[in-house]
């Protein structure tokens, strides 16, 4: 579309959007330049460029271990969320739709208590005894599961309301499908978009979670954010490379999710 077709108002809106986009990118651009600079102190531009900080980062076994452990905990929590939330949502929306208002309140309770307060309570409850899990990935998976619940529940609920679950189930049963077959073969494929959005939002949030990981496990099960916190006194170039690597990973994940989420007709 040409500028004449856009008109002055359209051009103004585009300029504002581009300016806001540039302002948001400036800190990221500065961090990236710092991560590939060999030295940058009292000059406007770096004195030289190098990728040694990235080579040092991705050859560090401690970083690779923290990265893998973060992936393991986040994926475990999301798998647990999907396994428990999907059947619950189906039962609530199909059999007990009046319970949806109550579920909306209950599902937000994890956000009502600050993570620091929750962590102190969990330390008291699971620090010793038969269910001693402090310092293990299991307590993180449980915490991350509760944190992911609002994202999962809200996104999938919106998708269920959009597809008109009851009419879809009734139509499938009229064609001879059982309730289980209709749920698996008809309803579940229609929830693909909502499920992808929920998983992406939850993973992006959990992958950057720090409070629970630092208090409940710390260096005993070092996640990526705990590793970043522990390396804060190291070279700024090194930590900048770590931040950019984290951002690039989330960006690639978002791009892949968008590609998978496209309709087959496209």
The total domain count for the chain is 2
Run means of pLDDT, 10 residues per run, the chain, 266 residues = 59 85 86 82 75 88 92 92 86 83 80 84 82 87 88 84 82 83 85 82 86 88 88 82 88 76 51
User: 39 is written with which tokens?
Assistant: 């030295």
What digits encode the pLDDT tens for the residues 101-135? 888 788 877 777 888 888 888 888 888 777 788 88
Q: Does residue 73 sit in the same domain as residue 175?
A: yes
Q: What is the pLDDT of residue 262?
A: 63
What digits encode the pLDDT tens for the residues 143-158? 899 888 888 888 888 8
Q: What is the pLDDT of residue 26?
A: 87
Q: Can you tell me the distance from the alpha carbon of 190 to that of 231, in angstroms, rounded to the nearest whole number?
A: 44
Q: What is the pLDDT of residue 198?
A: 83
Q: Does residue 138 sit in the same domain as residue 197?
A: yes
Assess if residue 54 is contained within a domain: no
Q: 89, 160 in Cβ contact below 8 A? A: yes
Q: Does residue 39 sit in the same domain as residue 89?
A: no
Question: Which CATH number does the domain housing residue 215 bear?
Answer: 1.10.3720.10
Q: Does residue 45 sit in the same domain as residue 96?
A: no
Measured CA distances, 260 to 72, 101, 121, 129, 254 (Å)? 22, 32, 40, 45, 10
- Beta-strand runs (E) in 74-148: none
Assess if residue 249 is contained within a domain: yes
Q: Does residue 74 sit in the same domain as residue 174?
A: yes
Assess if residue 187 is contained within a domain: yes
Single pTM value for the model:
0.80
Q: What is the pLDDT of residue 7?
A: 64
- Give 210's contacts (C-beta < 8 A, 6+ positions apart): 225, 226, 229
Q: Does residue 92 sit in the same domain as residue 154?
A: yes
DSSP 48: E
Q: Does residue 22 sit in the same domain as residue 134?
A: no
Q: Does residue 11 sit in the same domain as residue 122?
A: no
Assess if residue 72 is contained within a domain: yes
Q: What is the pLDDT of residue 96?
A: 84
Which domain does 37 fall in, by range? 3-49
Assess if residue 55 is contained within a domain: no
Q: Does residue 132 sit in the same domain as residue 16?
A: no
Q: Does residue 117 sit in the same domain as residue 150?
A: yes
Q: Does residue 100 sit in the same domain as residue 231?
A: yes
Q: Does residue 113 sit in the same domain as residue 30?
A: no
């Amino acid at each position: 579309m040409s500028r004449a077709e856009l008109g002055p108002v359209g051009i103004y809106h585009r300029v504002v959007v581009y300016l806001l986009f540039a302002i948001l990118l400036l800190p990221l651009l500065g961090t990236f330049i710092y991560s590939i600079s060999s030295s940058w102190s009292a000059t406007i531009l770096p004195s030289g460029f190098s990728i040694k900080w990235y080579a040092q980062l991705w050859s560090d076994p401690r970083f690779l271990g923290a990265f893998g452990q973060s992936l393991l905990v986040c994926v475990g929590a999301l798998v647990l969320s999907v396994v428990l939330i999907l059947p619950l949502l189906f039962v609530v929306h199909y059999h007990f739709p009046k319970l949806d208002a109550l579920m909306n309140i209950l599902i937000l309770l994890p956000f009502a208590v600050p993570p620091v307060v929750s962590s102190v309570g969990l330390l008291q409850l699971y620090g010793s005894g038969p269910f001693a899990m402090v310092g293990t990935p299991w307590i993180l998976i449980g915490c991350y599961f509760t944190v992911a619940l609002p994202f999962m529940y809200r996104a999938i609920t919106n998708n269920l309301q959009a597809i008109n679950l009851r009419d879809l189930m009734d139509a499938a049963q009229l064609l001879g499908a059982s309730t289980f077959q209709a749920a698996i073969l008809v309803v579940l494929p229609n929830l693909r978009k909502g499920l992808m959005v929920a998983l992406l939002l939850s993973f992006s949030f959990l992958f950057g979670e720090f409070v629970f990981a630092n208090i409940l496990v710390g260096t005993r099960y070092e996640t990526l954010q705990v590793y970043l916190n522990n390396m804060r006194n190291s070279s700024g170039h090194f930590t900048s490379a770590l931040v950019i690597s984290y951002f690039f990973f989330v960006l690639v994940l978002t791009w892949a999710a968008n590609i998978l989420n496209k309709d087959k007709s496209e």
